[in-house]
Amino acid sequence: MQRKMWGALLCVLAMTGCQPATDKLVITGSSTIAPLMAELAERFEAQTGVQVDVQSGGSGRGISDVRQGLADLGMVSRALKQDEQDLAGHVIARDGIALIVHAENPVAPLTQDQIIAIYTGKLDSWSLLGGADRPITVVHKADGRSTQELFLEHFGLDNDQVQPDLVIGENQQGIKAVAGDPYAIGYVSIGTAVYEADHDVPLRLLPLQGVPASLAALEQGDYPLSRELNLVSRGELNTQAKALLDFLSDPAQAEIYHAYYFLPATR
Amino acid sequence: MLTTSSPPRADRLLSWGLRLAGAAAVLVLGGIVLVLLMQSAPFLLDHGSDLWRNDWQPGQARYGMAAMVAGSIVVSVLALLLAGPLAVLLAAWLRYFAPALRRPMLALVELMAGIPSVVYGLWGMLVLVPWINQWAPPGASWLAASLVLALMILPLALLVTDTALGQLPVRYLQAGQALSLSRVGMLRRVLLPQAGPAIVSGLVLQFGRALGETMAVLMVAGNVVQWPGSLFDPVRTLTANIALEMAYATGDHRVALFASGLLLLLVTALLLLLSWRLRGEKHALA
């Protein structure tokens, strides 16, 4: 009896230990891409039998995991930087960042300077923008998020110039904060914002430099605050990773990208 | 069955089991301290003196944690000031003035203690913060965080106080009644002072729990790194900082977060020592 159990245990150990690593793909990184990637990976798994493990943890983690060999592919929700040229980027989709206010906020489209003034604390009441005489709740993202980096870069701001009233982590937290406060302003991924606004969350997306924050504007390339969603790799891609990249750029998957309000990259 | 048929063997098993559990606890704690020390040592050597500065801008290699240490402490202190007296009063009232209510209330309180912290956080974010926002925007603030924490530590603070009062010798009560002392006077002059050290040491442990709470605070505190100037200002605690940034941090930034974990451990250890001291005094009194 006991010997049988040991035998079974050894079998299990042998199976897990000797499984070839190439039958499994590990993808880590951006929390913006992760939900989309998880669904696409599931379909890929069903089609090819290759196991795909998707873990979220920010673009920074995607980069460092690929560098350390902990992941086959890293999800990075921005373009690669100068010091990241040792990695190969594969653009899979496009996304934008939308400024959002509460649906009941009547404020007119804001200019670049007004947005900068709001975020640096120089403009701190809606009355100066034709709204109610109430202080502006400035919602900002925590350090290390690519959404924050992109926002700061677009408006030419340093993080220590920003005077936030609320610092958030995930997009969802930003949505909840703005939807729960008629006097708040924040910025989140367009995909997330459009999705929530379409599902009766009281949000309004502000146009940016005269361009409405919509997927159509993003598709035409007009929207000024947009970013590429990347998968990064290092060195030679293995066959599974290659197959996955081909699978991701297959037009048949476009509807899944759209379901998450991203635009699939056209190749 | 095992225990009655061969007590020595069962005892040996139990004793070994206990030793193993004890060793595991020590090993895990030692491991945590070791990892924190090893991870943060290079950073502490390089930036150790910067830690006491105010500005936390990891993007620009500025790692001041003083504002967040202050944030952690003031949020927990206010929570304890709100929950502590309420817990003691409620426990005393239930035990000596409304004994019929005690059982159902304690059951309710135990249920409250079992609610996951993230649920308190969600309630704070969706109800409390918008409510405070109507009076004093932005709503997410020191006050909101302390209220949510107070609600979280109230149940256990109440249960600890109830137990402490329950452990007092019955003869105190009998003697008091024989002398026809009023119940309020009895409570104020005899019962609470006698149970005091046990109550206070229980409250200190709850304070430690408040210090360590992460998710609920993250959801309602506003998380702006600044000195807590008013009750309605947003603050960031050390734990919220780790949760917000750890997944996104690399290099020195990541190591700085480990160092902040070490700092938190230090504060908690100091609290524990304080709690021990208070309990020690109780034995000296008895």
Q: Which two tokens stand for residue B67?
A: 């504002």
Mean pLDDT of B114-142: 87
Distance, in Å, from the CA atom of B163 to the CA atom of A218, rounded to the nearest integer, reads 63
Mean pLDDT of B155-170: 90
Omega before residue B138 within 30° of 0, cis: yes
Test B55 with A160 for CB contact under 8 angstroms.
yes
CB A37 within 8 A of CB A54: yes
Instruction: Classify residue B285: in a domain, yes or no.
Output: no
Please determine, for residue B66, whether its predicted confidence score (pLDDT) is greater than 60: yes
Instruction: Classify residue B58: in a domain, yes or no.
Output: no
| Chain B residue closest in CA terms to A146 | B248
Q: What are phi and psi of A25, to 5 degrees?
A: -110, 135
Whether residues B209 and B272 fall in one domain: yes
Instruction: Classify residue B16: in a domain, yes or no.
Output: yes
Instruction: Classify residue B140: in a domain, yes or no.
Output: yes
Test B137 with A135 for CB contact under 8 angstroms.
yes
**Confidence at B281, pLDDT banded by 50, 70, 90:** low
What's the gap in Å between the CA of B205 and the closest CA on chain A? 29
Whether residues B16 and B152 fall in one domain: no
Instruction: Classify residue B177: in a domain, yes or no.
Output: yes
State the CATH number of the domain containing residue B179: 1.10.3720.10
**Please, which residues have CB within 8 angstroms of residue A223's CB and are 6 or more apart in sequence?**
A96, A190, A208, A211, A213, A214, A217
- For residue B87, the model assigns a pLDDT of 93
Mean pLDDT of B93-102: 88
- For residue B4, the model assigns a pLDDT of 53
- For residue A53, the model assigns a pLDDT of 92
Range of the domain at B37: 11-51
Transcribe B57-122 into DSSP letters.
EGGGTEE--HHHHHHHHHHHHHHHHHHHHHHHHHHHHHHHT-HHHHHHHHHHHHHHHHS-HHHHHH
Whether residues B45 and B126 fall in one domain: no
Whether residues B198 and B253 fall in one domain: yes
Report yes or no: B229 at the A interface, CB cutoff 8 Å. no
Whether residues B75 and B45 fall in one domain: no
List, in sequence order, every residue forming a beta bridge with A25; answer none if it has no partner. Answer: A52
Domain count, chain B: 2
CB A228 within 8 A of CB A94: yes
Whether residues B46 and B104 fall in one domain: no
- For residue A1, the model assigns a pLDDT of 43
Cα B265–B266–B269 angle (5° rounding)? 85
Whether residues B27 and B153 fall in one domain: no
Whether residues B46 and B73 fall in one domain: no
Which of A181, A183, A185, A201 is the best mutation test for B, with the most CBs of B within 10 A?
A181
A interface with B, Cβ–Cβ below 8 Å: 31, 56-61, 63-64, 134-135, 137, 142-145, 158-160, 164-169, 173, 176-177, 180-181, 183-184
Give percent of chain B with pLDDT exceeding 90.
Answer: 27
Using a CB-CB cut-off of 8 Å, the residues of chain B touching A181 are 129-130, 133, 137-139
> How far, CA to CA in Å, does B174 sit from each of A4, B99, B199?
66, 17, 22
CB A196 within 8 A of CB A205: no
Whether residues B33 and B157 fall in one domain: no
CB A86 within 8 A of CB A234: yes
Test A166 with B138 for CB contact under 8 angstroms.
yes
Instruction: Classify residue B284: in a domain, yes or no.
Output: no
pLDDT tens-digit profile, chain A (267 residues): 444 545 444 444 444 444 444 578 899 988 888 888 999 999 999 988 889 999 887 788 888 889 988 999 999 988 888 888 888 889 998 888 889 999 888 888 888 888 898 999 888 888 888 778 888 889 998 887 778 888 898 888 888 888 888 888 877 888 888 888 888 899 988 888 888 888 888 999 888 888 888 888 888 888 888 888 999 998 888 888 888 988 888 888 888 888 887 888 864
What's the gap in Å between the CA of A5 and the closest CA on chain B? 23
Whether residues B29 and B142 fall in one domain: no
Instruction: Classify residue B85: in a domain, yes or no.
Output: yes
Residue with structure tokens 């991870």? B39
Mean pLDDT of B66-88: 92
- For residue A18, the model assigns a pLDDT of 41
- For residue B5, the model assigns a pLDDT of 53
| Chain B residue closest in CA terms to A30 | B248
CB pairs under 8 A between A and B: 93
A219-250: pLDDT as tens digits: 888 888 888 899 999 888 888 888 898 888 88
Q: Which two tokens stand for residue A18?
A: 């000797």
CB A134 within 8 A of CB A107: no
Whether residues B15 and B122 fall in one domain: no
Instruction: Classify residue B2: in a domain, yes or no.
Output: no
Using a CB-CB cut-off of 8 Å, the residues of chain B touching A158 are 60
β pairing state of A88-102 and A184-189: antiparallel
Mean pLDDT of B181-195: 85
- Compute the mean pLDDT over every residue in chain B, rounded to the nearest whole number: 85
Whether residues B111 and B25 fall in one domain: no
Please determine, for residue B150, whether its predicted confidence score (pLDDT) is greater than 70: yes
| Chain B residue closest in CA terms to A170 | B244
Test A60 with B223 for CB contact under 8 angstroms.
no
Please determine, for residue B79, whether its predicted confidence score (pLDDT) is greater than 90: yes
Distance, in Å, from the CA atom of B209 to the CA atom of A77, rounded to the nearest integer, reads 36
Test B249 with A183 for CB contact under 8 angstroms.
no
List, in sequence order, every residue forming a beta bridge with A138; answer none if it has no partner. Answer: A185
